[in-house]
Structure 1
Amino acid sequence: MEVTGIVPEFDQKAVLQRWKDNFHVSRDAFEQAVFNHFNEFVPYVYGLNLDNEKEERKAQKFLFHPLEEFLCQGDPAHVFQTLNYSDEPSQLCGHNFKNGEPTYSCRDCAYDPTCVLCITCFQESSHRNHRYRMSTSGGGGYCDCGDTEAWKSDPYCCLHKPRKEEAESDSINMPQDIQEYMAVTFRCVLKYASTMLTFRDNLCLPFTPDRPVDRSLPVFMCMLYNDEVHTYDQVINILQRAIDCTQRQALEYATIVDREGRSCVRMGTFEECNSVKLTIERNTSRHGTKALKVEVVVKEVVAHQLFALKILSWLQTVCDKANSIRKILCGVLMESRIVNNQPKLSVLEEFIQADTMLWKVARVQSHQLLMSCVLKDPPSKKQFSVIFTKWYPQMVRAFSEDDHDHDVSMPSLSVQIFTVPSLARMLIAEHDLITVITKAFLNACEHKKNHLGKLSFDRERPDRTNVFKRSLFVLHDLKYALVCKPTCPEEWSDSLRDNFLSGLTSFLQLLSLIQGMDSVKRQTGQHLEFDPEWEGAFT
C-alpha cells in the first residue's frame, strides 16, 4: 500500500478499449474498470508531493485525457468545438466571482442589490452610463448578465445578447450515442467524487475495503482541520508543542489550514500520527472549548480525495464547453438513483447532506460546480430550487451547529434562488416556502424559550456555540422571499394566496415569541438596585 514513484504500465488505447468493452457489458462493470484505473494511477500522480506543474502534466496524461477521449469517443478538442458551434450561445454569463473580485450593480436597473455584473459584462453593457455601484465580492456569487429577472432594463451586454428572439431550447443538440457515453461517464466520476469526499473510514479505500493496511509502515498522515473557534496564535502554539516545529513552520501550517480547510502536519506510522492527534486534541479541549478536529488518514485516501476535488473542477471546465454538455451533467447530478433495488439520494442531495462534513475547499468546489452547472441552466435551476427547499430545514439545523463561515456553507446559495421572482413565487405557491423558512427559525428558537413561552437570553450564561446567532441568517432568506411580491392582481393564484396566508400564520407565531419578552414591571415602595435585563431582544 506504500506510495512509490514506480510508473505503472500505461497504454491509453488499451485503457479506452477496456472501458468500452465493459461499457457494453454493464454500467457496473464500466464503473469498476474506471475505479480500478483510478486506484492504480491516482496514488502515482497525487501521492508523491510533486510540484504543481509536474502533477498537472501527469494528471492530464494518465487520468483526465483518457476520460475526455472516452467522453467524446474521439478527439476531445474537435468534439467540444463542434458541440459548441452547433449550440445556441448561452444568454447567461454566470461568471463565478473569486474573493476580492470587483462587481458592479446598477442603481437604475437592478431589481435588488444582489444583482451584479462582472467587469467584462459591465464594460460591454449600457449600465456603464447609468448610476452604478462598485464593490468587491466575498466569493461565492456569479454574474447576473443575461438574467431577465435581475434587471428592469438592458439585461444583456453586447457579448451575451441573443442572436434570435426565440428562447433557448431545452433539447440536447448531440448524437444519441455521445449523450449516452457522457451521461454514463459523468455518473461514474460523480459517484467516485462524492464517495471519496464523504468517506468516513480513513484507514482503507471504499472501493477496495479488503486491502490490509500495515500500521507500522510510514503511509499515514495526520490531518489538521480548520474551525472558526480557535485563533491563529492558539493553533501555532499547539503545533509547536505537538510536532516540535519552529514558529515559522507552524505559521505555514496554520495558513494552509485557514485557506484550504485542512493540512497534513505529520507523516509517519499510525502510532506516530495518532500520538500527534491526541496531543492536539488534549491541548485544544481545555477550559471547556471544542477540540480542533484532527484525523489520521492513509496517504492513498488523501491522494484520492485530492483527485476527487480535481474532478469537480474538471466537470466545471467540461460543462462550459457546450450548453448541451451542461444539460446532461445537470440531469445526472439531480437524477434519483436505485442501488441494490433500494432508492438512493441523488448526487446533488448527497452534497447537500454532507456539506458540514466537508472541509473548506471541498465545500467551495461543490458549490462552484452547482453554480457553474445547475444555476446556469434555467430548467435545472428551477428543479434545484425545489430540492433546496425540501432540504432547507436540515441545512439550517446543520449550519447552526457547524463552525464554518456562512459564505462557505450550502445555505449561502439561497440568495441565488430566493431572490429570483419567478422561482420565489413558484416555491411559495407550490412548496409553501415562507412557512418552511419561518418554521426552520422557530425550531432554532425552541431552546431559547422560557417557562412563559417567550424568547429569553441569559446574560450570565451566553451561548458559546452561537447556535442561535447562526440561525439568524434564516431571516435574510425570509426577506429575499418576501421582496419578490406579485406586481399585479393576476399573479395572485389561489395556491399563492393560501400559502402566503399559511406563511403569515407561522410568522405571527414568531412575533408571539417576541411580544412581552424581557417585560419590565413597575416597582413601588422600594428602590430597584439593578435594572432588569432588556438588551437581549435588541442584541
Structure 2
Amino acid sequence: MALNAEKEQYGKNAIDQPYSMEVYKYLRGTPKEHGRVLTPEARDLILRKMSWFLFSKNNQLTDLMFPGEQSESVSCEKVPDDSAELVEYTESHRGLPCGHIFENDEVVYKCVTCSLDNSCVLCSHCFHATDHIGHETACVRNSGTRGFCDCGDLEAWKIPQHCRYHSSIEALDEAGLEPIVSSASPLFVPGYDNSECPVSVKDSIELTLVAVLEFVLEVFAMPTDLSLQLDESSIIDYARSAGLAIGDYEPQTEFALVLWNAEGHSSQDIVNQCTEILQVLEDNYDFSFTGTEHKTIQSINQALQDEGKQRLDWLLIFDQQLWKEVHVSLCELYIATFMRDNQYKMQFALVFARKYPRLAQELLIQDRAIEKSIKLLSLYLFSGQASSISLVRDHGLMYVILDVLKRFFIRSTPMDFQQHKVTTCSSEVFQNQHYPYIFVDIDYLVRMPQVRSWVSTSHDFLSAYMDFLGVLQGMDPYNRTIIRHIESEANRYLDPFNATMNVVNSNKQIAQCYGISARDLFVAIRSTLRELYHSTQLMAEENSMFTIHSAQLYDHLPNNIHDFSKDNTDIVELEFEMHSLSTIWGKEYEVVQYDMAANSVSFNHPLHWFMAELYHHVKQLTDDNLCCFGFAGVRDMVFSAFDTSYEALLKTHNTAGINTDINSKHLSDLHFMSKKEVFEVQRRLLRILDYPIRVCVVMAQLRAGLWMDNGESIQYQACYYRDSRYRKSTYDNDIALIQLFISIWPDTDHILATLLNRYGLYDWFNGRDHTQIYDPLQLGCMILELLNLLIVLVSDRHVATGKSERLGAP
C-alpha cells in the first residue's frame, strides 16, 4: 500500500538516533504492557519513565519530578492553587516576555494610548505593574480563545512598557522604578551547576522529544477513512496492514470505537441513538441494515502525498483530530514558544502560511468549535511587523487569502453560472458562520505599515482583489413582481448581506492603503474604473435570470426571481443599449436604456463601493499633484482612465529608475481627445454610473409602494442598506460615486437626464405624455424622492470636494 511505504520511509528518515529509537520502542510497547487500559497507575509509570528519558536516565533529576511516595499523586490534571505563584511572574522571567495565557473569562486589559492596535492586551499583573495613568484604558473578559499577554513584545506597543515583573533591573533603574521581586526561590539541585542546564540533559530532551513527536504523529495518522463501507474483515485487514507499516507484526485482537463530540451532538446523543436502534432491532431482528456513509477525516493516503514531512506541518494537519485538552495544551505550547523566540515565531508563521489553505478549509467546512480552532493563531502570527511583511511580500499570503475566499464563495455555484459571473446566494455557503475569520486575517495584515505600503505599490494585488470583488458583484438580484403576489419566501436576505458587510470592511482597509501616496491613489482609481467597465460588459446582474433559465437549474433561483420567472417564461438575453433623450431646448443626450420594472436590480456592488472608498482620499489629488503626473485635473484623470498609455509610461519610468514625477509635457499628447473619443468614454462611464443610480431608484420605489407584491426580503435588505450602522459603506458610497461623476462631467444636465430617465420621470418633467408606470399617488412620491436625492447630491458634498463635513471648514 502507498500508506505503508510512505509511512515506513517517513519513520526511517525521522528517527535515526539509538536514544530516540529506545524511547520510541518503549512508547510503542506501552499499550500492550498495560493491557491497553490507561489506569492512573499506568499513567504515572509512563510519566515517570518519560521523565527518566528526558533527564538523561538520571534518577536524581527524575526524583525531583516524582519525590518519594508522592509519585502516585502525579497527574496530567492541573490542580488549581491560588497561593502558588505563576512561573511567568517569577525572577526566571525577568527580561523575557510575559506570555501569560488567559483562561476563559479572565480579565484582560487594553490601553489604546500605548498599544499599536486593538489586539494588544495585558494581563492583570502586568497592567498594574506598568504606568497607564491618564491613558485611555479598558478591561474585558477573555472569550475563551486562548489569548496571551503582550507584555515584553516590542512590536505590540507604541510606548515602551516598563513592567516591574519582566523588565530588566537596568531598564527599571533608568526609568526610576522599583522591580517587583518574586518571593519564590529557584530549585537547587545538589551536584549540578544551577546556572545552566547540563549538556547531556539538553541532548536527551531533544532526542526524547523527537521520539515522542514521532509516536504522536504516527498515532494520529492511523485512523482510516470512514467514508468506506467497512465490515469486520475489512477492519481487521486494515489493522494488520497498518501494524506492518510501523513494524508491529502481532495480530490485533482488540479494537475501540471513539466518539467525537460536536456542537449539535454529544456522546450521550450517540448512546441514546444506539439505544433506540437496539429497540428497533428487537422488533426487526430478521432484517439487516446498512449504515450510511459519513466522512469524518480526510484520507491519510492523500495527506501523505500532498503534505510535507516536517513535524510542525503534521501537527497542524492533525489538529482537527485532537480532543479539547490536547488541542489547548498544544496551542499553549506554540504560544509560549514563539513568545520567547522571535526566530521560531517567524518559522512557525511560515509553516502556518504554507498550510493556510488547508487550515482555512477545515475552519470553513469541517471545524465545529471555532473557539478551539488552530486557525485562530493567525492573530498572533499575522499581527507582528516583521512576520507580516515577510509573509505578504515573500510568500504571497494576501493572494492565498483572496484565493481561499474566492473558492469558498463560488464553491456551491454551478460551473455554468461561474462562466457568466453569477454567484448563487441561496446555498449553505453564505450561511456559514466561520468565513468572517478569514476576512479578519486581512485586517491583521493591513494594520502593519509595511504591508500597507506593499499593498499600495503592488498592482498585481489590486487586480487580484478586484477579481475577488467581482465574484460578489451584482449578487442576489431582485425582480419586481407585477402579475401576482409572493405569498411565501425564505428569510435568507441576511446571508448575502452579511457577506457584503465583511467585504466592505475590507474595502475600507484596502482603500486606506492607497491614501498615503497620490501616485498610488490615482493609479488605483484608474485601474478600478477599467475593472468596473469590464464588469458592466459582462452584464451578469442584468442577465442573471437568463443564465439560470439557460442552465435549467431552478433550485438555485432565489425566491423573488423564482416567482418572477413563473410569470415570464419568454426570458431573453439582454444586450447593452443606449437611447437618445431630447430636451425642450433642442438638445439630445445619450443615456443607458434599462427597464427597472422588468429587469434585475441588486443592492450589492462591492466594486463600486471600493471605487468610492478610494475616492474618499481625494484630498491627495490636489491640482499640483495631478499636474505633476500630467493631468489637468480629476476630470482629465478619470476620462483618460481607459487609455493605458499613461500606465505604460509610468512603468517605463519605474523600470528605468526615473524617480522624478511625470509632468504634463510627457503626456500632453495622450490626453488630447476628439469628440468621438469623449463620447465613447462617456458611454463607458455612464454604464458604470447606472448601477448606483438603479439602487437609489429601487429605494424610491420601495417608499412609493411599487414592491409590495415582492414580499418582505427586499424591504428588509433595503432597511439594512440605509441603516445608520452600515450606510456609510453602502448607501453613502453610492451617493459619493454619483457626486463624483456630477463634479467631473462636462455637462451636468447629462447626469440629470440620466436620473430623470431612470426614475421614469423624464417625460413628466418635460410636460409630455408619459407611460403609466405609476399611479397618481406613486407618481407624487417618486417626484419627492427624486428631489430629495438632488438635494443630497448638491448639498452634502464633503466627499466629492475633499473638504471637511464641518460647515465653514476649509
Q: Cα 1:448–1:71, aligned 2, differ >3 Å: closer, same or farther?
A: farther
1:109 aligns to what SS in structure 2? coil
Q: Cα 1:401–1:496, aligned 2, differ >3 Å: closer, same or farther?
A: closer
- Structure 1 match to 2:56: 70
Tell me the amino acid that sits aligned with residue 456 of structure 1. T
Q: Does 1:510 align with 2:516?
A: no
Q: Is the Cα contact below 8 Å between 1:45 and 1:58 reproduced in 2?
A: no
Separation in 2, partners of 1:69, 1:180 = 9
Unaligned runs of 5+ in 2: 1-14, 66-87, 172-194, 225-237, 280-284, 298-303, 499-810
Residue 220 of structure 2 is aligned with which of 182, 197, 201? 197
- Residue 442 of structure 1 deviates from its aligned partner by 0.9
Q: Cα 1:72–1:485, aligned 2, differ >3 Å: closer, same or farther?
A: farther
Q: Is the Cα contact below 8 Å between 2:424 and 2:476 reproduced in 1?
A: yes
Q: Is the Cα contact below 8 Å between 1:430 and 1:496 reproduced in 2?
A: no
Residue 454 of structure 1 is aligned with which of 422, 425, 432? 422
What does 1:130-529 align with in structure 2 at a 5 Å threshold?
Answer: 130=135, 131-163=137-169, 178-200=201-223, 203=239, 207-214=246-253, 219-230=254-265, 234-235=269-270, 237-241=272-276, 282=291, 345-449=309-413, 450-451=417-418, 452-458=420-426, 462-463=427-428, 468-486=432-450, 492=453, 498-499=457-458, 501-521=459-479, 526-527=482-483, 529=485
- Residue 444 of structure 1 deviates from its aligned partner by 0.9
- Structure 2 match to 1:106: 111
Tell me the amino acid that sits aligned with residue 505 of structure 1. S
Separation in 2, partners of 1:44, 1:99 = 38
What does 1:520-539 align with in structure 2 at a 5 Å threshold?
Answer: 520-521=478-479, 526-527=482-483, 529-530=485-486, 535-539=494-498
1:223 aligns to what SS in structure 2? coil
- Structure 2 match to 1:34: 23
Q: Is the Cα contact below 8 Å between 2:99 and 2:151 reproduced in 1?
A: yes
TM-score for both structures, normalised by structure 1: 0.63
- Structure 2 match to 1:20: none
Separation in 1, partners of 2:209, 2:404 = 34
Q: Deviations over 1:264-314 (max 9, x none)?
A: xxxxxxxxxxx9xx99x95xx6xxxx85969xxxxxxxxxxxxxxxxxxxx
Q: Does 1:96 align with 2:94?
A: no
Separation in 1, partners of 2:221, 2:170 = 44
Q: Deviations over 1:461-519 (max 9, x none)?
A: x42x87854333211111111122349xxx94xx66544x4333222112222221123
1:401 aligns to what SS in structure 2? helix
Separation in 2, partners of 1:71, 1:127 = 49
Q: Cα 1:66–1:134, aligned 2, differ >3 Å: closer, same or farther?
A: same
Q: Is the Cα contact below 8 Å between 1:146 and 1:155 reproduced in 2?
A: yes
- Residue 402 of structure 1 deviates from its aligned partner by 0.6
Q: Deviations over 1:122-161 (max 9, x none)?
A: 3323248742223134142211111122222243421111
Q: Is the Cα contact below 8 Å between 1:95 and 1:118 reproduced in 2?
A: yes
- Structure 2 match to 1:8: none
Q: Cα 1:207–1:419, aligned 2, differ >3 Å: closer, same or farther?
A: same
Separation in 2, partners of 1:486, 1:77 = 51
Separation in 2, partners of 1:478, 1:384 = 19
How large is the Cα RMSD of the aligned pairs? Answer: 4.1
Tell me the amino acid that sits aligned with residue 154 of structure 2. T
Q: Deviations over 1:416-456 (max 9, x none)?
A: 11122332223222222222211111111222443531332
1:149 aligns to what SS in structure 2? helix
For the pair shown, the structure with the greater C-alpha radius of gyration is 2
TM-score for both structures, normalised by structure 2: 0.43
Q: Cα 1:227–1:486, aligned 2, differ >3 Å: closer, same or farther?
A: same
- Structure 2 match to 1:115: 120
Unaligned runs of 5+ in 1: 1-25, 166-171, 245-274, 295-338
Tell me the amino acid that sits aligned with residue 238 of structure 1. Q
Q: How many equivalent residue pairs?
A: 400
- Residue 349 of structure 1 deviates from its aligned partner by 0.5
Q: Is the Cα contact below 8 Å between 1:375 and 1:381 reproduced in 2?
A: yes
Q: Cα 1:74–1:534, aligned 2, differ >3 Å: closer, same or farther?
A: same
Separation in 2, partners of 1:408, 1:134 = 20
